[in-house]
Structures are given as C-alpha cells and as structure tokens.
Structure 1
C-alpha cells in the first residue's frame, strides 16, 4: 500500500471540547495523512489519529529552540521525519505562528479561519489588518466557512484569489434523519448546545423561553455545554442559572454540561428544536458557522437561529428553519410558538434542513483532499516553470 503524503495540522490546543468536529475532518481525509502539532494537547486518547500528536514541550531547550527557529524543535523534527508536504494551520493567530514552520520545511501554508479570528483584536479591524498582513502574503490559500466570512477576510486585506469557501461537513449517513412532530400532550423539547460565550446569545434564548413558558406552553429544555476557564464565561453561567431560578424555569431545565459526541447525539434525538441565537459582540465580533447547527439539521431538528455570519447558508426562512434578527426576543418567541403549534411546519423545516446538509455539507464530497491537491499542484507547476 502506497503511503499517503503527510500534512501537518497546526493548532493552539488539540482538542478542546468545543472543537471536536476537527477530528471528523481529519479522519475523513482519503489521500493525505494528518500529523497534528499543537502548543497543548487535550483529550487525545478520545480522538485517535494514525500518527500521535506532538506538543511543543516546555523544557528550556524547547524555549531556546523556539526563539532561534521560530518553532519548537521537537515539532520541526517530527514534521521533517514524516516528510510533511504541507502545513495547515487552524485559526488565524495560529497561522501566524505556523509561518515559521512552513518556511523551515519549505512547504506551502494553508490557513483556516473560523469566526472569532476574523474580528477579535484589541485594536479592531485596523489591528487585524496589521496582524495578518504578512500571513496574507505567505499563505498559499485561506479557507473560510461561507461567503460572509470570505467577504470579511478580503476586507482585512486578504488577496481575493487566495480566499476559498470550504464548508465543514459531516457524513449524513452517520446522522439518522427523523422528522420532528410534537404530540398535543407533549412539552416542546428545546435543545441549546454551545460553550457559554457572549456571542452565543444565551441570555436572549432564556428570555424567549421564559416568555413562552409564561404563556402556558409546556417546555422541556436541555442545555449541552458550559463555561470554560474564562471568568466572563463563568459569570455568564451564574447569571443564566440565577435567571432560570427567578423565572421559575428550574423544573424545566436540565444542565448537562459538556458532552461527548454520543451524548450530544442523544440530546438531539430527544429534542424537537435546536435554539441557537448567535449575536455579534464587541469582543468576539461575529462567529462562523456553528457546526452543531449542521449536526442538528442532519438529524431533522427544527432550527431556530439568527441572521449571523454564515448561518443563513443553512437556515433559510420558509425552507429549513426560523431565521431571526439578532437580539430579537419577540422573533424567537414567535418561532418557538410556531414550532410547538404547527407540526407540519416543524416537520417540513426539518426535511428542508436535511436537504441543505446533503447539498452543501456532505463531508464525503467536501474533504480537505482537493484543497491540498490544488495547492500542491500549483506549487509543483510553479517549480517546474522556474526550473
């Protein structure tokens, strides 16, 4: 069997609970073998790869090597030993650090942007333009999840010809589809699934749920996710729990915390709708396309989301879900009410969402393989022309 060319995947942390979808993309590769290099490793035993991931190392030799080489010596050695043909960095700031590795290996660099890295900087857009200036010159290709993110990347100074939309997909066959219909004597089963960050819009979700509950609509709410180590996330978690208690929602809410992929899938199986009201914030800016929306759509859940980032690529009003303006609690209430009282609409939206997943997000047709083929082919053509 011919060995597959190796692509280095460069991360800050591999693999936080909120980014387990990365493993799905890595294991779907058909013609290339991934080698993960990261500053820090987490949950590695849960997400096995053909080659073991390599962390930076914290000894004085590693620190000295990074100052001299711009990259951890043990990671550079691992990439060279593997004969890496390309470096793929995940998130813009990580791409900046990956430039040194790509330069030392003399291989092309691909960078994926996922949302926050297109907006978050103490000096805003001006700061991001300066921070990414060199990266935009060095990277062979810049990947984003949809046209809104592509436009933002060009606004920051990226050459349009190097920006490509490449959606994060899944295998629809792995997500059994079931149309959702609420029985008259059944509560509306609502799922919220996200990390407790401000851009996820959780306060608006709970205000809407409280209003619907006050109208007498029975609810069963499950929350998958939690706060991380960030103090702001922990304060938000406390505020949400206090609000739930004050509004009498405690008997109707189950806080499940971070879950495995199987745990999240089980929660989706129990739910009628996924409520995901993302908002733009001064700190995080705009998010990308939440992968949990794609997973819920594949399963047949009703999607209640906001007109935010590239979410409208999946959630199309009147076809595949309810798309509400950001921070519009009244619109969220209307969507929840319709999901509970109009079973045919709920079922039809689930069918429409599944179709959009099959059309736009089928991983069997959207792996990173053709991206690498194109980059390496272009580099080979350039080298031949110059020889």
Structure 2
C-alpha cells in the first residue's frame, strides 16, 4: 500500500559518479517523505550507491533507443520519448533536474508531462557550461520560463543564477546537508614541535586549488614540520588529468615527496577515519580559468569541519557562509598565495582556540547543514509547488 503522497522524478545523466555522495544522500533522505525515481542515461558504482526505482535509458530496448535518436536527429523532438513514457508509467508528480544544463531537457520533458519542474544548480553549470557553450544562455532563458523553482546552495550562487536570467522569485537557497547523526565530533589537539598532520581531500580539478595549497604548505614547512595526506585523484577527462600532472610536477620539482602521501580516492567511511588522524584540513577553492567553480560550498569541507577538524579555506563562492574567520575556521582571500600562507600560519598559531572554534563550527553546521532537516525542507518545497497547482 502506498504511504508517500507524491512521486518525484530525479534526472541526472549518470547514476552515480564516486564523487557525488552528496547527491545520493540528498535523494536517499527524501525517501521518508516521498517516492523517488531516478532517470539516467547510464549507471556506475551501483554497489556504492544502491537505489530503488532506477530507470536507465541505456537499458531500454535497442529499437526504442534507435527510434529516439533518429527522431532527435531529424529535429522532430528532443529524442527523449522513452524517458517521457517511463515517467508517465511511474505517474511522476514533479520532475527535479540536477544541474542546470540537465534542466534544459528536464523542463521540456516536464512540460510534455504537464507536471511542475524544479532544477538545482551546483557549480559547473553556472560559469563553466555557459562559458564553454554560449548558446546555453538562450537555453537557460527558456528553461527558467518553464521552471517552477530554482534551488541553489547559498546567496552568492543565487545572485550568479539570477545573472543568467532566473527570476529572483524563483530562487530558493537550499544548502546541501550532511549525515550529522553518523559523524562523530572530536576536537583536535596538536602540540607545537610535533608533526602537524594536514589533510587535503578533493578531486583533481583546477577549482579545488590543490597546487595553490601545496605552494602555501611548502612555505609553511620551512618552520613547521608537516605531514600531508592527499585523498583524491583525477577523473578520465583531460582537464582533470592535466591538473594531476600539475600537482605531481610541483611535488617533484620542489622535492616534497617525503612530506606527502598520495592516497587516491578512498571510500567515504575511510575518509572519516583518516580525518581523525589529522590536525588541519586545507581546501582553498578558486575560480578555474575555464569558468569552473564550486558554485556553493564543497560538501567535503562541511563534512571535515563537522568532525572537529580545524579547516582553512577561501572566500570562494558561498564558502564564507560556512566559515567565518577565527569563529568557525580560517578563511583566506581567493587565489591569493600570500594570504593563504598567512591564514594557515594564523590557524597554527591559534591552536589554543581550536576547541572553541571547532565547537562553534559544529554548532553552525548542525543548524544549517543537517541532511535530515534539509530533506524535510526540500520536500516541503515540493509540497508547496504541488499544492499550488
């Protein structure tokens, strides 16, 4: 017997890259409020991100896929009739597109179905996609016209999306949540004279600022004994592989091999285990040359701060909503090497304040970034939209 009042469709091309734990969590937490259906073009990491009600286009009959591609090629439709049929069969009440460029197609599908459409922006869709594909400016304009609500992670991101053409009344600031009930809070202690264990955890992409972090840590290492662990790796795309080359070249050129351990991608649970062994987390995000950005706040930054790990980051995008300097962490000017060096040194000098600052940080996260609270708020937005129809 059906207990949840609504069927919500979620559209994302791939279910699910290993760096998108945050999206898995967001949708999984919604299951106590509504029935959620995933629509994608291909799947990966299903052992890590198992999900009920998964509809994958690549698994549809070959005849259906060929027909849709032909129809798309000759311009009679967007070529996604199979997804429309699947959503009709599932009796979807509302379609939620994840990422702005996904919403371009999602808005068209929702219009065909006669259901409300909402879209969430996450970062690359705000600056990188429009810069690389200028024609998306017009596509976004049409999408906004056919969309009921636009979700984003913070006020900086909201302003950026409004510049793309969204109506301010469409915007809903909705920070991503983390599983606080599973994250133990343990304030760190470090004694000057001992090795300071620094953790960096991010995919190897220019927006993560890893080379900048290493250059700053190299300067700090002249007077502080550092042990640096880097969790993460490159993806398969050329931009990510180039960034990996930059990182390794810097380490080799400056003979930092003895102070750095590259750990590759690690399971989510193992990252939390590693966090317990470190004293300081560094994440100096920045706007990449190709326009890529965090958009809002890196979820890993929220998670690491929630463990009680002191964090140093930058004024990039909505990070200042999470980190207030010397209150909930330490924050440097974006892409400013000298200020990052100074900020790391301030964080080290403030070791006596770590217990208070990390306690403030955890309290702030509990108030604003709890996945259970955020999933309820997201469902309430769905409910408002559906009840208004």
Same fold (TM over 0.5): yes
Query: 2:261 maps to what in 1?
Result: 254
- Please give the secondary structure, in 1, of the residue aligned with 2:263: strand
Equivalent in the alignment of 1:27: 28
1:155-211: CA deviations, max 9, x gaps?
111111111101101232211001111133432111111111111111110100111
Contact 2:156 2:317 in 1 (8 A): yes
Match of 1:2 in 2: 2
- Once the two structures are superposed, what CA deviation does each residue of 1:258-313 show, in whole Å capped at 9, x if it has no partner? 12111221222222221111111231343221111110111111111110101010
Conserved? CA contact 1:71–1:100, under 8 Å: no
Question: After alignment, is 81-90 or 120-129 more displaced?
Answer: 120-129
Q: Give the TM-score taking structure 1 as reference length.
A: 0.92
Asked if structure 1 preserves the Cα contact closer than 8 Å seen for 2:11 and 2:98, the reply is yes
The alpha carbon displacement at 1:373 in A equals: 0.8
Q: TM-score, normalised by structure 2?
A: 0.92
2:149 aligned with 1:141, yes or no? yes
Distance of 1:370 and 1:186 partners within structure 2: 50
Q: Hey, what does 2:107 align to over in structure 1?
A: 99
Partner of 1:158: 166
8 Å contact 2:312–2:347 — kept in the other structure?
no
Unaligned 5+ segments in structure 1 are 380-387
Alignment check: 8 A CA contact 2:205 2:240 kept: yes
The CA deviation at 1:48 is: 1.4
Question: For each residue in 1:290-342, what CA deviation from the matched residue of structure 2 results, as whole angstroms up to 9, or x when unmatched?
Answer: 11111011111111111010101001112111110012222222232233343
User: SS in structure 1 opposite 2:221?
Assistant: helix
Question: Which stretch shifts more, 245-254 or 144-153?
Answer: 245-254
| 1:100-144 residue CA offsets vs partner (Å, 9 max, x unmatched) | 321232211110000111112465796553230110000110000
| Greater Cα shift, 296-305 or 184-193 | 184-193
For this pair of structures, how many residues does the alignment match? 378
Pick from 113, 118, 124: which aligns with 2:121? 113
Distance 1:333 1:175 in 2: 29
Root-mean-square deviation (Å): 1.9
Show structure 2 runs of 5+ residues with no match: none
Q: How does 1:169-180 map to 2 (within 5 A)?
A: 169-180=177-188
Cα distance change, pair 320–127 in 1 and its aligned pair in 2 (3 A) = farther
Structure-1 residue corresponding to 2:273: 266
Cα distance in 1 for partners of 2:51, 2:79 equals 22
Partner SS state of residue 45, structure 1:
coil
SS in 2 for 1:241: helix
- For 2:66 and 2:384, the matched residues in 1 are separated by 35
- 8 Å contact kept, 1:96–1:132: yes
Once residues 330 and 133 of structure 2 are traced to their aligned partners in structure 1, the CA distance between those partners, rounded to angstroms, is 31
From 303, 312, 317, the counterpart of 2:325: 317
Which residue matches 2:385?
375
Name the CA distance, whole Å, in 2 between partners of 1:57 and 1:74: 11
The farther-off stretch of 347-356 and 123-132 is 123-132
- Aligned 8 A contact 1:37 1:56 in 2: no
